[in-house]
Chain A
């Protein structure tokens, strides 16, 4: 089993009201120094078998078709190091 992570973020030019809400809440809680917040989504895909180029191409297709809307969002696909992933648990 291996994990592929897809990060989806609103495009820089697209307004991100949720990020703005978080940005507004931080100073109210006493946190300072944050000048901007963008909120996105992280998908963790558990993949059966080895991560090959073909598998990654397939994940790219998933990201483009369903996980993101290319009109308003960018995505990035990466394979998560399984050792690091286990340690993080």
Chain B
């Protein structure tokens, strides 16, 4: 499958994401924020970084990039979209996912190997994992605190839309230890930690992140 990875001004992790896509057995396609064109891809990844320098709010300017018109439209039709870190922030600003991400409660940038529990294995991006799988991948953020009102949080938990939860420590003040969520349909996933940095034994925290990049195939042929 062809998986597009969008580069915004200030994206950092698009090359790692492309590499992870390739290791996951897919063709990575570079997409450009300024183009109204998804170049025929089957899925889209919005990578981490500091698009537009995090000006105004993280993801607030990128959300109105030309390419996001197409991403939002395609997501509405069921195309799988994964937003990692800054990508998660962009998805929330786009209202493709509920809630928002605010500055870490302890006010420091955090960078660590983070243990997570995968709680929803039916999204387009998580079918490769076993229900309740505990994985360790890199977390690095300054504004990763997931917040939403109590009703929204109850709904997310009640509908099984919490994709991943932090284990051991809550690294950024995210409400109910939420590290990642999905939309009602399960095709759009936002995740604060970085699976694309945990796809090879040579570097990073291991290969626990690879499942996010192999799931897409399984879910398509399921």
Which residues of A are interface residues toward B (Cβ below 8 A)? 10, 13-15, 17-18, 20-21, 66-67, 69, 71-72
Contacts and interface: CB of A to CB of B under 8 A. Distances in A.
A7 to B, nearest CB: 15
Contact of B92 (A20, A67, A71): A71
B60 A14 contact: no
B103 A18 contact: yes
B105 interface: yes
B173 A15 contact: yes
B49 interface: no
Nearest to B98: A71
B102 A15 contact: yes
B64 A15 contact: no
B217 interface: no
Contact of A66 (B60, B105, B106): B60
Contacts of B149: 13
Contacts of A21: 107
Nearest to A67: B56
Contact of A14 (B56, B102, B107): B102
A66 B56 contact: yes
15 contacts: A10-B102, A14-B147, A15-B102, A15-B147, A15-B173, A17-B103, A17-B104, A17-B107, A17-B173, A18-B107, A66-B56, A69-B60, A69-B100, A71-B98, A71-B99
Contact of A72 (B64, B107, B147, B173): B147
Interface of B: 56-57, 60, 64, 92-93, 98-100, 102-107, 145, 147-149, 173
B107 A69 contact: no
Contacts of A69: 57, 60, 93, 100
A10 B92 CA distance: 16
A13 B152 CA distance: 14
Contact of A71 (B100, B105, B145): B100
Nearest to A13: B149
Contact of A17 (B56, B57, B93, B105): B105
A20 B107 contact: yes
Contacts of B173: 15, 17
A9 B173 CA distance: 20
A34 to B, nearest CB: 18
B145 A15 contact: yes
Contacts of B93: 69
Nearest to B175: A15
A15 B107 contact: no
